[in-house]
Amino acid sequence: MSSAQVIDGAQPTGVPGAGPLLQVSHVSTEFPTPRGVVHAVNDVSFTLERGKTLGVVGESGSGKSVLSRTIMGLLPRSAQRSGEVVFEGRPIHDLDSAGYRSLWGTEMAMVFQDPMTALNPVMKVGRQITESLRYHLDMDKSEARETAVALLRAVRIPEAERRFNAYPHEMSGGMRQRVVIAVALACGPKLLFADEPTTALDVTVQAQILDLLAEQQRDRYMAMVLVTHDLGVVAGRADEIAVMYAGRIVEKAATKVLFREMRMPYTEALLNAIPKLGDPSHTRLAAIGGRPPDLVDPPKGCPFSPRCPYARERCHEERPELTPSESNPDHLYACFYPVGSPETEEIRVRIQAQRLIDSAPPEVREAAAEHPGGQG
Amino acid sequence: MQRTPDAVADAPLPEPPLPTAEAILGEEVPPAGKKKRLGVGAWLAIIWIVGLLLAAIFAPLLPIPEPTEVFPEIARKGPTAGHLLGGDTTGRDVLSRIIYGARASYAVGFGAVGFGLVIGGAIGLMAGFFRGKFDAIATPAMNVFLAIPQFILALSLVTVLASQDGVTGSRRLMVVILGLGIVSVPLLGRITRANTLTWSEREFVLAARAMGAKNGRIMFREVLPNVIPAMASIALLAVGIAIVAEGGLALFGAGVQLPTPSWGNMIAEARTSMRRAPHTIIFTSIVLFLTVLSLNYLGDVVRQRFDVREAAL
């Protein structure tokens, strides 16, 4: 069995073993800043099985990128972290930099968001791949080159032989992201973090890149943490989805379950924020009002309460814990009045009525104002 | 309390949009391996600088007299047959002295900047890459150095370093190189640090780290190649400045020691007879001017080619 075979996906690299691949429990990350301590990640726990995909979804500043960097140990020195990370049964949260270096590349790797900056502009793309092959897998020059070309082919780069000698600026964004993926896959990691891998790309290229990631993941039996702000991206590709808000997981469930019966109003708001093809033109885009909370001084109650249409007194006072849903113990959410409960339904009906009135002609609006409480 | 109810009003049936486009590989790719051409000006500059360098190196093979040979008949005379640029005050061949003078002037210019590049570059690269304590000491130190008038600093350094009696010509040359080199350290160090800082923030550095590369590897193989164009551009300017600075030192008698010719000490020596024999000073100055112009122009070409932003000067 030549190593080239292993690498280009002919053989699965993350072969099934005992126990989950990654166990994250009560992980928190803080950054001391002049303004105060930023609580970027708060008490996050999850388990990832081999070969599975976890989608981590949230707005900018929800801590999703910091979470993946915390697990990988790629934080700046100023960061303070706590909690446990167990990778293949081995605790890795207190490794030193040499310990992490033994994991990086070969055990876990990361695909970065922006292919424009994730490649070294003055190094040929081929060499960016062979670097780690030669360093980690002790390949000689020609072997590394062969493997790199095979990898470039695996990520569907046409004329891989010729592209090997190209510089990043000679490639398009989608191509570059393919190269970034090839670099990350080079040493056959068991766990791949994809940090918004398609955000910087065209919509048409997005789907290609996501399909490529899914295909490579399947071939290699590799687990993946797919970080994104777009529920649509993870919808068909993640086995499980964790929705993050203000550094916490606020809802977590198997993908199908989550889309069928989402409980957290924030998840619902995220989904509504995706424009739908069937909508008539000039439909107002549904934005989530307000801004993400200040992570230096988060609100007292539920962090989403200031922006939540269904929030009640209790939401502003008390923070709901992540609890399993009554129907499905694997479906966790942190909400007192989840979507579908009588309290939220009542508000939803009222909001819809108000919407209808607002869009009605003026005479109807006046009539409605004269009879408040009349059902719209 | 900010609440915008209508934002989350109607919950439609969850219909995850599944982009199922196939991996179409029609992406537009610019052809690889196309390079910008150097302009005529850049070629002229290169020819001038390299030509002078070759002439200086192979001067003994050229049909010119020794730079120290005295021809009384051409003293203070303009160009004549056999002495294309005439003779200087004591009757030495000006052309020969200019060509031999290029040896000292080039040595001073490139030597001083080379010294500055190695020391300043190393300090700047480490300060910009590791930051922390090293940066906290090195950068203020460089700023303090920059606050001292550069020429006075160079003059004092050369005077102090060459204060012993019986300093030989080559030793004096080394001292001038070292003096101007030390002066150029903070300048080149700061440029390198500023560029290293910005390049170290780039994602590919983090990506290299996430692939298990060590600090030294990242510093020299990922960051340094990106910083080199900026360093090269400034270094070319600095070579010109150093050559001119040697002339300044020569005026104070602190330049390259006579009888070894350098453009600086030729101008300094000839200035006493500027009225009667202006051609020495004029020809030498023209050569000096063209050389500095070429270096500056090449520096600009490098900067434009690599789009180096003048981050800090």
pLDDT digits (tens, 9 = 90+) for B33-90: 445 567 888 899 899 989 989 988 887 888 777 777 777 777 777 777 777 777 777 7
Contacts of A5 (CB under 8 A, 6+ apart): A11
Per-residue pLDDT tens digits for A240-291: 999 999 888 999 999 988 888 888 888 888 888 887 777 777 777 777 877 7
Q: Which CATH architecture has domain A3-245?
A: 3-Layer(aba) Sandwich (3.40)
Selecting from B11, B19, B24 the residue whose C-beta is nearest the C-beta of A339 gives B11
Report chain A's mean pLDDT, rounded to a whole number: 83
Say whether B18 and A235 touch across the interface (CB within 8 A): yes
A55 confidence band (pLDDT: 50, 70, 90): very high
Sign of CA dihedral B200, B203, B208, B211: positive
Higher pLDDT residue, B122 or B273? B122
Say whether A131 and B29 touch across the interface (CB within 8 A): no
Say whether B4 and A309 touch across the interface (CB within 8 A): yes
Give the pLDDT confidence score for residue A294 in this predicted structure: 82
Nearest CA in chain B to A231: B16
Give the pLDDT confidence score for residue B23 in this predicted structure: 35
Interior/surface letters A232-269, b for 16+ CB within 10 angstroms, e for the rest: bbbbbbbbbbbbbbbbbbbbbbebebbbebbbbbbbbb
Asked if the C-beta of B1 comes within 8 angstroms of chain A's C-beta atoms, the answer is yes
Give the pLDDT confidence score for residue B27 in this predicted structure: 40
Per-residue pLDDT tens digits for B8-39: 444 444 444 433 333 333 344 444 444 556 78
Nearest CA in chain B to A114: B203
Per-residue pLDDT tens digits for A16-52: 556 788 999 999 999 998 888 888 998 899 999 888 8
Using DSSP bridges, classify how beta strands A80-87 and A22-33 pair: parallel, antiparallel or unpaired.
Answer: antiparallel
Give the pLDDT confidence score for residue B4 in this predicted structure: 44
Higher pLDDT residue, A372 or A340? A340
Give the pLDDT confidence score for residue A342 in this predicted structure: 81
Mean pLDDT score, B249-273? 82
Phi, psi torsion values for A113, nearest 5 degrees: -70, -50
The edge-to-edge listing of strands for the beta sheet with A80-87 is A36-48, A22-33, A80-87, A90-91
Higher pLDDT residue, A275 or A141? A141
Provide the number of structural domains found in chain B.
Answer: 1
B156 assigned to some structural domain: yes
A87: helix, coil or strand?
strand
Q: Please give the C-alpha separations between residue B84 and each of A46, B94, B96, in angstroms, as whole numbers.
A: 86, 8, 9
Selecting from B8, B10, B25 the residue whose C-beta is nearest the C-beta of A288 gives B8
Say whether B24 and A122 touch across the interface (CB within 8 A): no
Distance (Å) from the C-alpha of residue B303 to the closest C-alpha of chain A? 15
Q: Does the model's ipTM exceed the 0.85 cut?
A: no
Selecting from A158, A207, A307 the residue whose C-beta is nearest the C-beta of B19 gives A207
Give the pLDDT confidence score for residue B6 in this predicted structure: 44
The answer on pLDDT for B205 being more than 80 is yes
Distance (Å) from the C-alpha of residue B132 to the closest C-alpha of chain A? 10
Residue B23 CB: number of other CB atoms within 10 A? 16
Query: Which residues of B are less than 8 Å from A110 in CB distance?
Result: 207, 210
Per-residue pLDDT tens digits for B113-130: 999 999 999 999 999 998
A198: helix, coil or strand?
coil
Give the pLDDT confidence score for residue A373 in this predicted structure: 54
Per-residue pLDDT tens digits for A117-128: 888 888 888 888
Please say whether the beta carbons of B100 and B56 come within 8 A.
yes
B309 confidence band (pLDDT: 50, 70, 90): very low
Distance (Å) from the C-alpha of residue A351 to the closest C-alpha of chain B? 6
The answer on pLDDT for B306 being more than 90 is no
Domain ranges of chain A: 3-245, 341-376
Per-residue pLDDT tens digits for A88-97: 888 888 888 8
Query: Which residues of B are less than 8 Å from A353 in CB distance?
Result: none
Nearest CA in chain B to A353: B9
Selecting from A104, A114, A174 the residue whose C-beta is nearest the C-beta of B203 gives A114
Nearest CA in chain B to A127: B221
Residue A350: both structure tokens together: 């009222």
Higher pLDDT residue, B110 or A283? B110
The answer on pLDDT for A101 being more than 90 is no
Per-residue pLDDT tens digits for A302-344: 888 888 888 888 888 888 888 888 888 889 988 888 888 888 8
Nearest CA in chain A to B227: A122
**Amino acid, single-letter form, for residue A166:** A
Q: What angle do CA A282, A285, A289 make, to 5 degrees?
A: 145
Say whether A122 and B11 touch across the interface (CB within 8 A): no
DSSP of A5-38: HHHTTSS-SS---SS-SEEEEEEEEEEEETTEEE
Higher pLDDT residue, B255 or A329? A329
Asked if the C-beta of A110 comes within 8 angstroms of chain B's C-beta atoms, the answer is yes
Say whether B32 and A166 touch across the interface (CB within 8 A): yes
B131 confidence band (pLDDT: 50, 70, 90): confident
Asked if the C-beta of A79 comes within 8 angstroms of chain B's C-beta atoms, the answer is no
Query: Which residues of A are less than 8 Å from B220 in CB distance?
Result: none
Q: What is the CATH number of the domain that holds B224?
A: 1.10.3720.10
Give the pLDDT confidence score for residue B166 in this predicted structure: 59
Say whether B27 and A236 touch across the interface (CB within 8 A): no
Give the span between the Cα atoms of B118 and B224, in whole angstroms: 12
Asked if the C-beta of A210 comes within 8 angstroms of chain B's C-beta atoms, the answer is yes
B310 confidence band (pLDDT: 50, 70, 90): very low
Residue B93: both structure tokens together: 């061949």
Give the pLDDT confidence score for residue B274 in this predicted structure: 79
Give the pLDDT confidence score for residue A18 in this predicted structure: 63
The answer on pLDDT for A15 being more than 70 is no
Sign of CA dihedral B146, B152, B158, B161: negative
Asked if the C-beta of A294 comes within 8 angstroms of chain B's C-beta atoms, the answer is no
Say whether B24 and A204 touch across the interface (CB within 8 A): yes
Distance (Å) from the C-alpha of residue A306 to the closest C-alpha of chain B? 6
Query: Which residues of B are less than 8 Å from A135 in CB distance?
Result: 212-213, 217
Burial bucket for residue A79 (CB in 10 Å: 0-12, 13-18, 19+):
middle
Per-residue pLDDT tens digits for A159-174: 888 888 888 888 888 8
Higher pLDDT residue, A295 or B185? B185
B76 assigned to some structural domain: no
Say whether A120 and B27 touch across the interface (CB within 8 A): no
Smallest CA-to-CA distance from A212 within A192, A230, A228 is with A192
Give the span between the Cα atoms of A287 and A147, in whole angstroms: 46
Distance (Å) from the C-alpha of residue A216 to the closest C-alpha of chain B? 13
Residue A346 CB: number of other CB atoms within 10 A? 12
Give the span between the Cα atoms of A129 and A125, in whole angstroms: 7
Half-sphere exposure of A9 (CA within 13 A, CB side): 23
Give the pLDDT confidence score for residue A56 in this predicted structure: 92
Please say whether the beta carbons of A13 and A220 come within 8 A.
yes
Say whether A131 and B213 touch across the interface (CB within 8 A): yes
A130: helix, coil or strand?
helix
Q: To the nearest 5 percent, what fractions of chain B are helix, strand and coil?
A: 65, 0, 30
Asked if the C-beta of B207 comes within 8 angstroms of chain A's C-beta atoms, the answer is yes
What is the span of the domain harbouring residue B183?
Answer: 88-306
Say whether A106 and B17 touch across the interface (CB within 8 A): no
B66 assigned to some structural domain: no
Selecting from A184, A208, A286 the residue whose C-beta is nearest the C-beta of B21 gives A208
> In A140-202, where does DSSP find H-type helix?
141-154, 160-163, 173-185
Asked if the C-beta of A309 comes within 8 angstroms of chain B's C-beta atoms, the answer is yes
Please say whether the beta carbons of B256 and B276 come within 8 A.
no
Per-residue pLDDT tens digits for A183-237: 888 888 889 998 888 887 778 888 888 888 888 888 888 999 999 888 888 888 8
Give the span between the Cα atoms of B186 and B147, in whole angstroms: 10
Selecting from A162, A231, A287 the residue whose C-beta is nearest the C-beta of B7 gives A287
Which residues is B69 bridged to in the sheet? none
Give the pLDDT confidence score for residue A157 in this predicted structure: 86
Give the span between the Cα atoms of A375 and A350, in whole angstroms: 9
Report chain B's mean pLDDT, rounded to a whole number: 79
DSSP of B176-208: HHHHHHHHHHHHHHHHHHHHHHHHHTSHHHHHH
Smallest CA-to-CA distance from B47 within B283, B303, B290, B304 is with B290
The answer on pLDDT for B170 being more than 60 is yes
Helical pair B40-57 and B278-306, crossing angle rounded to 10 deg: 130
The answer on pLDDT for B108 being more than 80 is yes
Asked if the C-beta of A235 comes within 8 angstroms of chain B's C-beta atoms, the answer is yes
